[in-house]
Amino acid sequence: MRIVIAACSVDYTGRLTAHLPLATRVLMVKADGSVLVHSDGGSYKPLNWMSPPCTLTESEPTPEQREVGVQAVWTVQNTKSDDRLIVSVHELHAEHSYELGVDPGLVKDGVEAHLQKLLAEQIGLLGQGHSLIRREYPTAIGPVDILARGAAGHVAVEIKRRGDIDGVEQLTRYLDLLNRDPLLAPVEGVFAAQEIKPQARVLATDRGIRCVVLDYDAMRGIDDVDSRLF
């Protein structure tokens, strides 16, 4: 991982246009190719980012850019679309690189772990004809909750208690990686949760990811769905 602290401005172009004015920020370049722009607030969420697959190119500023104080230009180009993240670095404060190695992934506990176990046992909830391949399918960027086989090919399932945009982004990264494997491709994505936020559903649908709402009580057998009045 490469961590850079710099005074910079950031422009995003492609499916949307966004601009971050000049300020001091943290730039993170991860081994999977992703580039994230962080401020000192906003909790864990970046102000802007580019998910892999993408390429990072560093270049000298143009004379016009140099006149306004730009020292270097980062261009992060998505390899599957026209989306582009441009970071104009005005002043470099610090830069460090670290080799983190392979992460073992998140060890889930509580409801999410139980949901994963229950869905693996009731894989038919994904649709008729689905069969389980394995839970915690290993990848270079962490384990996929469930890998299954469907009528049209393989299915990667990300399970959350509450599904938000971050979960969709996580599944997107898994799908980008899995679909590069000719023995697995094509791999469909399924985002499964007890509750899926509207923004996450919109993003998932835009990326061709299917959403499945899980009824935890029914899966545990303590709620008779056939006896409900509504």
- Considering the domain architecture, whether residues 121 and 156 belong to the same structural domain is answered as yes
Name the percent of the chain lying above pLDDT 90. Answer: 76
CA torsion, points 102, 106, 107, 109, in degrees to nearest 10?
180
pLDDT at residue 153 above 80? Answer: yes
**Could you tell me which of 125, 134, 182, 127 has the C-alpha nearest to residue 156?**
134
**Could you tell me which of 27, 21, 23, 9 has the C-alpha nearest to residue 94?**
27
- Considering the domain architecture, whether residues 88 and 142 belong to the same structural domain is answered as no
Residue 194's domain is classified under what CATH number? 3.40.1350.10
pLDDT at 196: 95
**Tens digit of each residue's pLDDT (9 = 90 or more) over 67-114:** 999 999 999 999 989 999 999 999 999 999 999 887 766 665 568 889
Domain's final residue, options 75, 97, 119: 97
Neighbours of 31 (CB within 10 A): 16
pLDDT at residue 41 above 80? Answer: yes
Residues 51/35, Cβ–Cβ less than 8 Å = no
**Tens digit of each residue's pLDDT (9 = 90 or more) over 104-151:** 666 655 688 899 999 999 999 999 999 999 999 998 888 999 999 998
| Averaged pLDDT score across all residues of the chain | 91
pLDDT at 103: 72
- Considering the domain architecture, whether residues 140 and 175 belong to the same structural domain is answered as yes
What single DSSP character describes residue 197? Answer: -
- Considering the domain architecture, whether residues 120 and 74 belong to the same structural domain is answered as no
Residue 50's domain is classified under what CATH number? 2.70.180.20
pLDDT at 140: 86
The predicted model gives 169-187 an average pLDDT of: 94
pTM here? 0.56
pLDDT at 224: 54
The structural domain count of the chain equals 2
- Considering the domain architecture, whether residues 86 and 148 belong to the same structural domain is answered as no
CA torsion, points 179, 180, 181, 185, in degrees to nearest 10?
30
- Assess if residue 89 is contained within a domain: yes
**Tens digit of each residue's pLDDT (9 = 90 or more) over 181-205:** 999 999 999 999 999 999 999 999 9
Rounded to whole angstroms, the Cα distance separating 162 from 155 reads 20
- Assess if residue 34 is contained within a domain: yes
- Considering the domain architecture, whether residues 50 and 9 belong to the same structural domain is answered as yes
- Considering the domain architecture, whether residues 66 and 134 belong to the same structural domain is answered as no
Q: Which domain holds residue 52?
A: 2-97
- Considering the domain architecture, whether residues 214 and 149 belong to the same structural domain is answered as yes
Rounded to whole angstroms, the Cα distance separating 122 from 116 reads 10
Identify each DSSP E strand in the chain by its residue range.
2-13, 18-29, 35-38, 48-50, 54-59, 72-78, 84-97, 131-137, 144-150, 153-163, 187-196, 210-213
- The answer to which of 41-45, 52-56, 205-209 has the lowest mean pLDDT is 41-45
Rounded to whole angstroms, the Cα distance separating 10 from 49 reads 10
- Assess if residue 230 is contained within a domain: no
- Considering the domain architecture, whether residues 61 and 8 belong to the same structural domain is answered as yes
Residues 157/119, Cβ–Cβ less than 8 Å = yes
Rounded to whole angstroms, the Cα distance separating 157 from 176 reads 13
The predicted model gives 30-38 an average pLDDT of: 92
